[in-house]
Chain A
Amino acid sequence: MLTTIGKRLLTVLPTLIGVIIVTFLLTRALPGDPAAYFAGPAATKEAVEQIRVSLGLDRPLPEQFVRYVKDLGRGDLGNSLSTGRPVVTEIVSRLPASAELTLLGLILSMVIAVPLGILAAVKQGSWIDHTCRIVATAGVSLPVFFTGLLLVYIFYYILGWSPAPIGRLDAFTSAPPNITGFYLIDSLITGNFETFRASLSQLILPAFTLGIFSLAPIARMTRASMLAVLASEFVRTARASGLDNRTVIITYAFRNAMLPVVTTLGMVFSFLLGANVLVEKVFAWPGIGSYAVEALLQSDFAPVQGFVLTMAVMYVALNLLIDILYGVIDPRVRLEG
């Protein structure tokens, strides 16, 4: 098992190198002159030149690349041009907000999509099956920012059930002490149920928005793989041996059907991490997505570069985790590895 993980870790290296090269090239292709921007509009030519030298922008590309990689090794992603603060600090402090939102969204969509897919497969052709199909097609067609606004209109403006979309907490509640950075967990640890309730009520709409978006691929995959498993011989044998329907579906079919679903999670994460940016914008969520969007509109490239790199590294790590998880669930993969 450990050697399998070790081998899988090695395959990540070329991907990571590719990611770092791409993020490096992205900033060098930037049309604007960062030195001129940094110096400000009133700067003289000499001042711009001086900054160019101090930023290392006058050196040849390969040398700049080595410097970039060295900085990365020290955990330095550069400074934001507009605020002057280090990008790393900013991203680290905002990451828990994004992570809490994305994970809750994923959990919500799994909780809905997996049973829906199973029911659709077990009762093939029934109204549940048709609902599953409509939800799956509609889910991928809905622009995630549009779903978010629609939910805000219904649940905030018409029904008044949820608070205004203004971030992680309303103005009257103070943030819980920073332990994990996840407000839900931190407030539970400190026993502050008032904060827990407040942050959950802020979180639920954006998380649902993300959930609806990732519902479709998960439900579709669950249904398809459940159908394939239900038609297989070991399920027929189990039925023929007189096991009751519940045992056959949950113990025999479900566990085998979950494997392709776990694989799909990789793709789902790609969608989720991207959709996260849009949802954060709609709900004024103080995560890394909205940080990147603000920087992007001011042509402040260091935060954007740091954001793209962070997202890519997280995505690579998640895919690695999914692969390892796959080995844990399915002993056959372990043997082959």
Chain B
Amino acid sequence: MTETVSIAPAAAPKQSSNSVFSHAVYVVSENPVTGLAFGLFALIALCALIGPYIVPYDPLASDTAAALQAPSWKHWFGTDQLGRDIFSRVIVATRLDFIIAITSVALVFVMGGFAGIAAGFFGGWTDRVVSRLADTIMAFPLFVLAMGIVAALGNTVTNIVIATAIINFPLYVRVARAEANVRREAGFVQAARLSGNGDFRILLAHILPNIMPIMMVQISLTMGYAILNAAGLSFIGLGVKPPTPEWGIMVAEGAANIISGEWWIALFPGAALMIAVFTFNLLGDGLRDLVDPQRRT
């Protein structure tokens, strides 16, 4: 059923761009939460872009005279053990967390997306190898596997990105494979083949654009998970090194102070993390309503 829904725009692009827009307006107006998600996303993107230039304090500058101060007009989110301004650190951290999530999702989109499309389109051995690989990854509790990968490859931010990409691999393979599989005998694919296009050209130029909408939803849904996962890894001390502002590690730094009552050190980065994940999850649900109204819950 999804086939007819998402193939339709390709058949009549001019008319559909208008209807997609009006559908978008409809979805946002009917579900204001999705509108809120788009707004929050814009805010997060803005913080990631210009955050480091607008913060009031240097995120790395310590001022021991002003250590462990509660939130005030001077320090909106208070200060940590070394007197660093938490508001500045939370804002500056947005960029790093955002970059980790985006690069890992881009990486898995390329790896998982292409492997999945090839598996669904060619079937046979390609399918068996790709599916077996995905199944093997799924046989691990995913966060545990990510820990193992970072341990094996080395304790760096790059490897956190790679580990996050690998554990999301099966999700992308599954979606891309299913979507490519329904389309392998579709009219437009046969027409392309009749016109003399090779397999790879059909894959890249005909099937890929058609499954892009579904893949976009997948990207948005896994962004939140990627941020959570990366923050979890840095919380247990992997990847990001201490003075660098990053949400997960900031929560870890504030963890010891929770039991002595300095709640603000862990609360604000944790809340930022939560809002970011919440935004991407809502955005994913909203995009899904837009692309694939039948899967709405």
Contact = CB atoms under 8 A, between A and B. Distances in A.
A149 B255 CA distance: 7
A19 B153 CA distance: 18
B258 A157 contact: yes
Nearest to A18: B136
B145 interface: yes
A274 interface: yes
Interface string A277-307: 1100110000000001100110101001101
A31 B153 contact: yes
B151 A140 contact: no
Interface stretch (B100-108, B115-123, B193-201, B232-240): B232-240
Contacts of B270: 143, 146, 149-150
B132 A29 contact: no
Interface in A140-166: 140-146, 149-150, 152-153, 156-157, 164-165
B228 A308 contact: no
A26 B258 contact: no
Given A141-B278, A315-B140, A26 B266 contact: no
Interface string B141-180: 1111111111111110000000000000000000000000
Name the residue among B154, B236, B297 with the largest chain A CB count within 10 angstroms: B236
By size class, the interface of chain A is 35 or more
Interface in A302-332: 304-305, 307-308, 311-312, 315-316
A79 interface: no
Interface centre among B148, B274, B277, B297 (most CB of A within 10 A): B148
A152 B259 contact: yes
B264 to A, nearest CB: 11
A137 interface: yes
Contacts of B273: 143, 146
B97 to A, nearest CB: 11
B251 A304 contact: no
B58 to A, nearest CB: 26
B140 A292 contact: no
B235 A281 contact: yes
A204 interface: no
B243 interface: no
A278 B140 contact: no
Contact of B139 (A138, A164, A278, A312): A312
B263 interface: yes
A308 B147 contact: yes
Interface string B42-75: 0000000000000000000000000000000000
A29 B153 contact: yes
A144 B146 CA distance: 16
A69 interface: no
A153 B263 contact: yes
A278 B145 CA distance: 14
B237 A149 contact: no
Nearest to A25: B152
Contacts of A146: 251, 266, 270, 273-274
A167 to B, nearest CB: 13
A27 interface: yes
A308 B154 contact: no
Interface string B250-287: 01101100111101001100100110011001100100
A304 B259 CA distance: 29
Contact of B282 (A137, A156, A305, A311): A137
A152 B270 CA distance: 14
Given A149-B266, A157-B261, A293-B237, A143 B228 contact: yes
Contacts of A82: none
Shortest beta-carbon contacts, A-B, top 7: A274-B143, A18-B136, A146-B270, A273-B141, A141-B278, A308-B148, A26-B152
Given A27-B152, A146-B266, A271-B141, 9 more contacts: A19-B139, A29-B152, A141-B278, A149-B254, A164-B259, A165-B259, A274-B143, A274-B232, A278-B143
24 contacts: A15-B135, A19-B136, A22-B136, A22-B145, A27-B152, A29-B153, A30-B152, A138-B278, A140-B224, A141-B277, A143-B231, A143-B232, A143-B251, A149-B251, A153-B258, A157-B259, A270-B141, A273-B141, A274-B146, A278-B143, A293-B237, A296-B150, A296-B238, A312-B140
